[in-house]
Structure 1
Amino acid sequence: MTLTFTLDPAVTPDLRDGLLDLWTDVSNAGGAVGFVAPVDRETIRPELVKHFAGMAGGRTRLLVAHDEGGRVAATAFLAFNTHRLMTHWVWLYTVMVHPRHQGRGYGRDLLAAAADAARTFEGTEAIRLTCRGGHGLERFYGSCGYKEVGRIPGAIRVAPGDDRDDIVMLLPLT
């Protein structure tokens, strides 16, 4: 099975619902995408609306992957910097692959597609992301070419007494 990637798809009710389902399923499977399980679609909806507002304002781009059945299988958002001294790199965030598709190399495919997309953005020289410690995500991103460039110990509190590092990763594109 292969995924079909689309940058800046039309936001339709089907896409919105697919993104909500993806984000909910990833979160409930233990994914580190801004929530702690258990969550439902209505908990996630306001955050997705913020992402859509960024897209409507031209500050954010959506990369989405559909599986052969047409279902949303993976996604990542790329956000432009608004600070005039930092416009040469973009943020990558809310990077998700549906649990039913994990372990097939689709995460690597998603990151490669995000890098390809970022290379088309005029003046973009790097991608920066942060990830939550305790999941081994820094090893995965590292295997995809990202370098750890910073770490803030205990910056993310997932539960009382469960603080995780906020890890900053960078992928040079040039």
Structure 2
Amino acid sequence: MAGVSLRFVLDPDLTPRLRDEIVDLWADVSNAGGAVGFVPPVTAADVRVIADPTFAGIADGPDRLLVGYTGDRLAAMLIFADNRFPLKAHWCVLKRVMVHPDAQGTGCGAALMAEATRLGREFGHEALHVTVRDGLGLDKFYGRLGYREIGRLPGALRVAPDDDRDEILMWLDLTQAD
């Protein structure tokens, strides 16, 4: 799938079909070792416990969903999560950043993040924030995209007994030229 391009849709209608596709993507990413709130093995039922309140934040606002398709297949997604606090309204958290395992390594992740950057500026945000699990090289991926590490929560993520990982805080200043 090298060189795959994505067709992006912002704020799609959260139909039952799209909800199921997101849950399936989330489970596939998790089971491939992706750091999106779970460790493998995970089932769709496990994911749905977190997905349903996430969908409510999108459907009822104020969060926004960005999805990326290869053809008719959901291949990537992320959520612009509102800070729900007026003193933080000038920046946004990106959550549940996912690319299907079959599409990883094809540029889809970079394309998804480029679209998030474009939209973040369009929304009037001055910065984007994302947290990543240490030990997976995600900080290097985001670093190549212009994000910088602004802090760590040591051992904040327990992925298994005796396997605690740092949560790395990454920041992209949108007021700077590319």
Deviation at 1:58, TM superposition (A): 1.6
Deviation at 1:14, TM superposition (A): 1.9
Matching residue within 87, 99, 106 for 1:104: 106
Deviation at 1:56, TM superposition (A): 2.5
Matching residue within 82, 85, 89 for 2:84: 82
User: How many aligned positions are there?
Assistant: 172
Amino acid at match of 1:105: G
Matching residue within 64, 67, 74 for 1:64: 67
Matching residue within 4, 12, 17 for 1:14: 17
Match of 1:31 in 2: 34
SS in 1 for 2:94: strand
The 4+ residue runs of structure 1 with deviation greater than 2 A are none
> What is the rounded CA distance, in whole Å, between the counterparts of 1:92 and 1:117 in structure 2?
12
SS in 2 for 1:11: coil
Match of 1:48 in 2: 51
> What is the rounded CA distance, in whole Å, between the counterparts of 1:160 and 1:118 in structure 2?
38
Superposed CA deviations along residues 14-68 of structure 1, whole A, max 9, x for unmatched, are: 2111101110100000001000100010000121111111112322100001111
> What is the rounded CA distance, in whole Å, between the counterparts of 1:14 and 1:53 in structure 2?
15
> What is the rounded CA distance, in whole Å, between the counterparts of 2:49 and 2:154 in structure 1?
28
Deviation at 1:103, TM superposition (A): 0.7
> What is the rounded CA distance, in whole Å, between the counterparts of 1:164 and 1:59 in structure 2?
30
Match of 2:160 in 1: 159
Q: CA RMSD in A?
A: 0.9
Whether 1:170 aligns to 2:171 is yes
Deviation at 1:105, TM superposition (A): 0.6
> What is the rounded CA distance, in whole Å, between the counterparts of 2:18 and 2:58 in structure 1?
14
Amino acid at match of 1:28: N
Superposed CA deviations along residues 126-157 of structure 1, whole A, max 9, x for unmatched, are: 00110100101000000011010001111110
TM-score by length of 2: 0.94
SS in 2 for 1:85: helix
Matching residue within 89, 93, 104 for 1:91: 93
The percent of aligned pairs where both chains have the same amino acid is: 53
SS in 1 for 2:18: helix
Structure 1: 5+ residue runs without aligned partners? none
SS in 1 for 2:88: coil
